[in-house]
Structure 1
Protein backbone atom coordinates (compact mmCIF):
# COMPACT_ATOMS: atom_id res chain seq x y z
CA UNK A 1 0.00 0.00 0.00
CA UNK A 2 1.06 3.54 -0.55
CA UNK A 3 0.50 6.44 1.76
CA UNK A 4 1.19 10.15 1.71
CA UNK A 5 4.82 9.53 2.62
CA UNK A 6 5.33 7.45 -0.51
CA UNK A 7 6.20 4.28 1.40
CA UNK A 8 5.51 1.23 -0.72
CA UNK A 9 2.85 0.54 -3.28
CA UNK A 10 0.88 -2.48 -4.39
CA UNK A 11 0.53 -4.10 -7.78
CA UNK A 12 -2.61 -3.74 -9.88
CA UNK A 13 -3.56 -7.32 -8.97
CA UNK A 14 -3.29 -6.57 -5.26
CA UNK A 15 -5.29 -3.36 -5.75
CA UNK A 16 -8.00 -5.47 -7.40
CA UNK A 17 -8.01 -7.79 -4.39
CA UNK A 18 -8.25 -4.78 -2.07
CA UNK A 19 -11.39 -3.80 -3.97
CA UNK A 20 -12.81 -7.15 -2.87
CA UNK A 21 -12.11 -6.13 0.72
CA UNK A 22 -14.06 -2.89 0.22
CA UNK A 23 -16.91 -4.90 -1.30
CA UNK A 24 -17.15 -6.86 1.97
CA UNK A 25 -16.53 -4.03 4.43
CA UNK A 26 -19.69 -2.09 3.51
CA UNK A 27 -22.14 -4.98 4.01
CA UNK A 28 -20.23 -6.12 7.10
CA UNK A 29 -20.50 -2.64 8.62
CA UNK A 30 -24.23 -2.38 7.87
CA UNK A 31 -25.01 -5.85 9.23
CA UNK A 32 -22.88 -5.26 12.32
CA UNK A 33 -24.63 -1.93 12.89
CA UNK A 34 -28.07 -3.56 12.76
CA UNK A 35 -26.92 -6.39 15.04
CA UNK A 36 -25.33 -4.02 17.56
CA UNK A 37 -28.38 -1.76 17.45
CA UNK A 38 -30.62 -4.73 18.28
CA UNK A 39 -28.31 -6.13 20.96
CA UNK A 40 -27.60 -2.88 22.83
CA UNK A 41 -31.32 -2.22 23.09
CA UNK A 42 -31.26 -4.78 25.94
CA UNK A 43 -29.17 -2.26 27.87
CA UNK A 44 -31.24 0.70 26.67
CA UNK A 45 -28.30 2.06 24.68
CA UNK A 46 -27.99 3.54 21.22
CA UNK A 47 -25.21 2.46 18.87
CA UNK A 48 -23.58 5.88 19.38
CA UNK A 49 -23.54 5.61 23.17
CA UNK A 50 -22.21 2.05 22.87
CA UNK A 51 -19.37 3.39 20.67
CA UNK A 52 -18.47 6.03 23.28
CA UNK A 53 -18.52 3.50 26.11
CA UNK A 54 -16.45 1.01 24.13
CA UNK A 55 -13.90 3.66 23.20
CA UNK A 56 -13.50 4.75 26.82
CA UNK A 57 -13.32 1.12 27.93
CA UNK A 58 -10.51 0.38 25.50
CA UNK A 59 -8.59 3.65 25.54
CA UNK A 60 -9.29 5.19 28.94
CA UNK A 61 -10.44 8.78 29.60
CA UNK A 62 -10.60 10.99 26.52
CA UNK A 63 -11.89 14.41 25.57
CA UNK A 64 -14.88 14.77 23.25
CA UNK A 65 -12.66 16.14 20.43
CA UNK A 66 -10.27 13.19 20.84
CA UNK A 67 -13.17 10.75 20.56
CA UNK A 68 -14.46 12.53 17.47
CA UNK A 69 -11.07 12.38 15.76
CA UNK A 70 -10.57 8.73 16.71
CA UNK A 71 -13.93 7.70 15.25
CA UNK A 72 -13.95 10.24 12.38
CA UNK A 73 -17.19 11.71 13.77
CA UNK A 74 -18.17 15.30 14.41
CA UNK A 75 -17.47 16.70 17.84
CA UNK A 76 -21.14 17.69 18.07
CA UNK A 77 -22.35 14.14 17.47
CA UNK A 78 -19.92 12.73 20.02
CA UNK A 79 -20.99 15.41 22.53
CA UNK A 80 -24.64 14.34 22.13
CA UNK A 81 -23.68 10.70 22.75
CA UNK A 82 -21.62 11.70 25.80
CA UNK A 83 -24.55 13.76 27.10
CA UNK A 84 -26.86 10.75 26.67
CA UNK A 85 -24.39 8.49 28.47
CA UNK A 86 -23.93 11.05 31.27
CA UNK A 87 -27.70 11.36 31.72
CA UNK A 88 -27.76 7.60 32.38
CA UNK A 89 -24.84 7.80 34.81
CA UNK A 90 -22.53 5.83 32.52
CA UNK A 91 -19.83 8.49 32.10
CA UNK A 92 -18.61 11.48 34.06
CA UNK A 93 -16.27 14.39 33.49
CA UNK A 94 -12.88 14.71 35.09
CA UNK A 95 -10.39 17.58 35.09
CA UNK A 96 -7.99 17.52 32.16
CA UNK A 97 -4.49 18.56 33.25
CA UNK A 98 -3.57 19.20 29.60
CA UNK A 99 -6.50 21.51 28.82
CA UNK A 100 -8.63 23.45 31.30
CA UNK A 101 -11.63 23.89 28.99
CA UNK A 102 -11.81 20.38 27.53
CA UNK A 103 -12.69 17.95 30.30
CA UNK A 104 -11.82 14.30 30.15
CA UNK A 105 -14.74 11.90 29.88
CA UNK A 106 -14.43 8.64 31.79
CA UNK A 107 -16.58 5.64 32.55
CA UNK A 108 -18.41 5.42 35.85
CA UNK A 109 -18.63 2.10 37.66
CA UNK A 110 -22.09 1.63 36.13
CA UNK A 111 -20.66 2.44 32.70
CA UNK A 112 -17.95 -0.20 33.13
CA UNK A 113 -20.57 -2.76 34.13
CA UNK A 114 -22.86 -1.94 31.20
CA UNK A 115 -20.17 -1.93 28.52
CA UNK A 116 -18.66 -5.08 30.03
CA UNK A 117 -21.99 -6.89 29.58
CA UNK A 118 -22.34 -5.59 26.01
CA UNK A 119 -18.81 -6.64 25.06
CA UNK A 120 -19.28 -10.08 26.65
CA UNK A 121 -22.38 -10.65 24.48
CA UNK A 122 -20.54 -9.44 21.38
CA UNK A 123 -17.59 -11.74 22.07
CA UNK A 124 -19.99 -14.66 22.46
CA UNK A 125 -21.35 -13.89 18.99
CA UNK A 126 -17.83 -13.58 17.55
CA UNK A 127 -16.96 -17.03 18.89
CA UNK A 128 -19.28 -18.30 16.14
CA UNK A 129 -16.77 -17.29 13.45
CA UNK A 130 -15.10 -20.10 11.48
CA UNK A 131 -12.76 -21.96 13.84
CA UNK A 132 -9.98 -22.24 11.25
CA UNK A 133 -8.87 -18.64 11.79
CA UNK A 134 -5.47 -18.12 13.40
CA UNK A 135 -3.89 -15.23 15.26
CA UNK A 136 -1.80 -14.61 12.13
CA UNK A 137 -5.00 -14.34 10.06
CA UNK A 138 -6.34 -11.71 12.44
CA UNK A 139 -3.02 -9.84 12.48
CA UNK A 140 -3.01 -9.76 8.67
CA UNK A 141 -6.62 -8.58 8.55
CA UNK A 142 -5.87 -5.79 11.03
CA UNK A 143 -2.77 -4.75 9.07
CA UNK A 144 -4.68 -4.62 5.77
CA UNK A 145 -7.65 -2.72 7.21
CA UNK A 146 -5.35 -0.30 9.04
CA UNK A 147 -3.48 0.35 5.80
CA UNK A 148 -6.73 1.02 3.95
CA UNK A 149 -7.88 3.34 6.71
CA UNK A 150 -4.60 5.27 6.55
CA UNK A 151 -4.92 5.71 2.76
CA UNK A 152 -8.45 7.10 3.24
CA UNK A 153 -7.27 9.68 5.79
CA UNK A 154 -6.34 12.19 3.06
Structure 2
Protein backbone atom coordinates (compact mmCIF):
# COMPACT_ATOMS: atom_id res chain seq x y z
CA UNK A 1 0.00 0.00 0.00
CA UNK A 2 1.33 3.45 -0.79
CA UNK A 3 1.83 6.12 1.80
CA UNK A 4 -0.52 9.05 2.29
CA UNK A 5 0.02 11.57 -0.48
CA UNK A 6 -1.95 14.33 1.27
CA UNK A 7 1.05 16.52 2.10
CA UNK A 8 2.95 15.84 -1.12
CA UNK A 9 2.51 17.38 -4.55
CA UNK A 10 -0.34 15.72 -6.43
CA UNK A 11 0.69 12.71 -8.49
CA UNK A 12 -0.36 11.68 -11.96
CA UNK A 13 -4.15 11.14 -11.85
CA UNK A 14 -3.72 7.85 -13.69
CA UNK A 15 -1.37 6.60 -10.97
CA UNK A 16 -3.74 7.82 -8.26
CA UNK A 17 -6.67 6.01 -9.91
CA UNK A 18 -4.60 2.83 -9.98
CA UNK A 19 -4.13 3.29 -6.22
CA UNK A 20 -7.92 3.51 -5.86
CA UNK A 21 -8.49 0.35 -7.89
CA UNK A 22 -5.80 -1.43 -5.88
CA UNK A 23 -7.86 -0.64 -2.76
CA UNK A 24 -11.32 -1.26 -4.22
CA UNK A 25 -10.60 -4.88 -5.19
CA UNK A 26 -9.54 -6.05 -1.71
CA UNK A 27 -12.26 -3.89 -0.13
CA UNK A 28 -14.90 -5.55 -2.30
CA UNK A 29 -13.58 -9.07 -1.56
CA UNK A 30 -13.44 -8.39 2.20
CA UNK A 31 -16.96 -6.99 2.13
CA UNK A 32 -18.08 -10.12 0.24
CA UNK A 33 -16.51 -12.36 2.87
CA UNK A 34 -18.20 -10.36 5.63
CA UNK A 35 -21.60 -10.71 3.95
CA UNK A 36 -20.97 -14.44 3.48
CA UNK A 37 -19.97 -14.81 7.15
CA UNK A 38 -23.24 -13.16 8.16
CA UNK A 39 -25.25 -14.94 5.44
CA UNK A 40 -26.41 -17.80 7.67
CA UNK A 41 -28.50 -15.27 9.56
CA UNK A 42 -30.67 -14.69 6.47
CA UNK A 43 -29.45 -17.46 4.15
CA UNK A 44 -28.14 -14.97 1.58
CA UNK A 45 -25.19 -15.25 -0.77
CA UNK A 46 -23.47 -12.10 -1.98
CA UNK A 47 -25.22 -12.44 -5.35
CA UNK A 48 -28.67 -12.84 -3.81
CA UNK A 49 -27.95 -9.88 -1.54
CA UNK A 50 -27.10 -7.76 -4.60
CA UNK A 51 -30.37 -8.72 -6.32
CA UNK A 52 -32.42 -8.02 -3.20
CA UNK A 53 -30.75 -4.67 -2.66
CA UNK A 54 -31.39 -3.56 -6.26
CA UNK A 55 -35.06 -4.44 -5.85
CA UNK A 56 -35.13 -2.67 -2.48
CA UNK A 57 -33.65 0.48 -4.05
CA UNK A 58 -35.40 0.49 -7.43
CA UNK A 59 -38.57 -1.56 -7.08
CA UNK A 60 -39.50 -4.37 -9.49
CA UNK A 61 -36.99 -4.91 -12.32
CA UNK A 62 -36.34 -7.45 -15.03
CA UNK A 63 -33.28 -9.69 -14.96
CA UNK A 64 -31.71 -7.85 -17.94
CA UNK A 65 -32.27 -4.49 -16.22
CA UNK A 66 -30.53 -5.74 -13.07
CA UNK A 67 -27.65 -7.17 -15.10
CA UNK A 68 -27.09 -3.87 -16.92
CA UNK A 69 -27.33 -1.85 -13.71
CA UNK A 70 -24.70 -3.94 -11.96
CA UNK A 71 -22.52 -4.81 -14.98
CA UNK A 72 -23.26 -8.50 -14.39
CA UNK A 73 -24.18 -11.13 -16.93
CA UNK A 74 -27.87 -11.83 -17.40
CA UNK A 75 -27.18 -15.50 -16.71
CA UNK A 76 -25.60 -14.76 -13.32
CA UNK A 77 -28.45 -12.45 -12.32
CA UNK A 78 -30.96 -15.12 -13.42
CA UNK A 79 -29.26 -17.72 -11.19
CA UNK A 80 -29.24 -15.35 -8.23
CA UNK A 81 -32.90 -14.45 -8.87
CA UNK A 82 -33.80 -18.14 -9.02
CA UNK A 83 -31.93 -18.73 -5.74
CA UNK A 84 -33.80 -15.82 -4.14
CA UNK A 85 -37.11 -17.17 -5.45
CA UNK A 86 -36.26 -20.59 -4.02
CA UNK A 87 -35.87 -18.94 -0.62
CA UNK A 88 -39.21 -17.13 -1.02
CA UNK A 89 -37.49 -13.72 -1.13
CA UNK A 90 -38.64 -12.59 -4.60
CA UNK A 91 -41.58 -13.23 -6.83
CA UNK A 92 -42.07 -13.11 -10.59
CA UNK A 93 -44.73 -10.68 -11.80
CA UNK A 94 -46.20 -10.19 -15.27
CA UNK A 95 -44.43 -7.47 -17.20
CA UNK A 96 -46.85 -5.43 -19.31
CA UNK A 97 -43.92 -4.12 -21.39
CA UNK A 98 -42.46 -7.54 -22.26
CA UNK A 99 -44.23 -10.90 -22.07
CA UNK A 100 -41.06 -13.03 -21.88
CA UNK A 101 -39.18 -10.94 -19.31
CA UNK A 102 -40.98 -11.01 -15.96
CA UNK A 103 -40.64 -8.30 -13.41
CA UNK A 104 -38.90 -9.45 -10.24
CA UNK A 105 -40.20 -8.03 -6.96
CA UNK A 106 -39.35 -8.46 -3.30
CA UNK A 107 -41.69 -10.48 -1.15
CA UNK A 108 -42.32 -9.39 2.43
CA UNK A 109 -39.75 -11.98 3.57
CA UNK A 110 -37.29 -10.64 1.00
CA UNK A 111 -37.75 -7.07 2.18
CA UNK A 112 -37.26 -8.14 5.81
CA UNK A 113 -34.11 -10.14 4.93
CA UNK A 114 -32.42 -7.36 2.94
CA UNK A 115 -33.35 -4.73 5.53
CA UNK A 116 -31.76 -6.87 8.26
CA UNK A 117 -28.57 -7.27 6.19
CA UNK A 118 -28.40 -3.53 5.39
CA UNK A 119 -28.98 -2.59 9.04
CA UNK A 120 -26.17 -4.90 10.16
CA UNK A 121 -23.85 -3.57 7.43
CA UNK A 122 -24.60 0.03 8.39
CA UNK A 123 -23.61 -0.68 11.98
CA UNK A 124 -20.35 -2.34 10.94
CA UNK A 125 -19.46 0.34 8.40
CA UNK A 126 -20.38 3.19 10.77
CA UNK A 127 -17.85 1.80 13.25
CA UNK A 128 -15.22 1.18 10.53
CA UNK A 129 -15.48 4.75 9.22
CA UNK A 130 -15.82 6.51 12.55
CA UNK A 131 -12.76 8.72 11.89
CA UNK A 132 -13.99 9.92 8.48
CA UNK A 133 -15.82 13.19 7.97
CA UNK A 134 -18.85 13.73 5.78
CA UNK A 135 -16.55 15.65 3.42
CA UNK A 136 -14.24 12.61 3.17
CA UNK A 137 -17.16 10.33 2.37
CA UNK A 138 -18.67 12.76 -0.15
CA UNK A 139 -15.32 13.04 -1.97
CA UNK A 140 -14.97 9.25 -2.03
CA UNK A 141 -18.47 8.82 -3.48
CA UNK A 142 -17.77 11.48 -6.09
CA UNK A 143 -14.49 9.87 -7.22
CA UNK A 144 -15.87 6.31 -7.31
CA UNK A 145 -19.01 7.45 -9.14
CA UNK A 146 -16.91 9.26 -11.74
CA UNK A 147 -14.73 6.20 -12.30
CA UNK A 148 -17.75 3.92 -12.48
CA UNK A 149 -19.52 6.10 -15.04
CA UNK A 150 -16.35 6.36 -17.15
CA UNK A 151 -16.49 2.57 -17.54
CA UNK A 152 -20.22 2.37 -18.36
CA UNK A 153 -19.61 1.13 -21.88
CA UNK A 154 -18.07 -2.18 -20.76
CA UNK A 155 -20.19 -5.11 -22.04
CA UNK A 156 -20.62 -7.96 -19.54
CA UNK A 157 -22.68 -10.33 -21.68
Return the TM-score normalized by structure 1.
Answer: 0.86
**Which residue of the partner structure matches residue 118 of structure 2?**
119
Kindly provide the CA deviation profile for residues 81-132 of structure 1, in whole angstroms up to 9, marking residues without a partner as x: 1111111111001122222221110000111111111111111101112333
Cα displacement (A) at 1:12: 6.4
1: CA distance, partners of 2:61 / 2:129? 35
- SS of residue in 2 equivalent to 1:44: coil
Structure 1 outlier segments of 4+, above 4 Å: none
Return the TM-score normalized by structure 2.
Answer: 0.84
Cα displacement (A) at 1:149: 1.5
Deviates more, 1:73-82 or 1:92-101: 92-101
2: CA distance, partners of 1:67 / 1:94? 15
2: CA distance, partners of 1:12 / 1:103? 49
Are the counterparts in 2 of residues 40 and 50 from structure 1 also a CA contact under 8 Å?
no
Cα RMSD over matched residues? 1.6
2: CA distance, partners of 1:88 / 1:69? 24
Aligned length: 144
Structure 1 alignment gaps of length 5 or more: 1-10
**Which residue of the partner structure matches residue 69 of structure 1?**
68
**Which residue of the partner structure matches residue 49 of structure 2?**
50
Cα displacement (A) at 1:140: 1.5
After TM superposition, the structure 1 = structure 2 runs for residues 3-152 of structure 1, keeping only pairs within 5 Å, are: 13-152=12-151
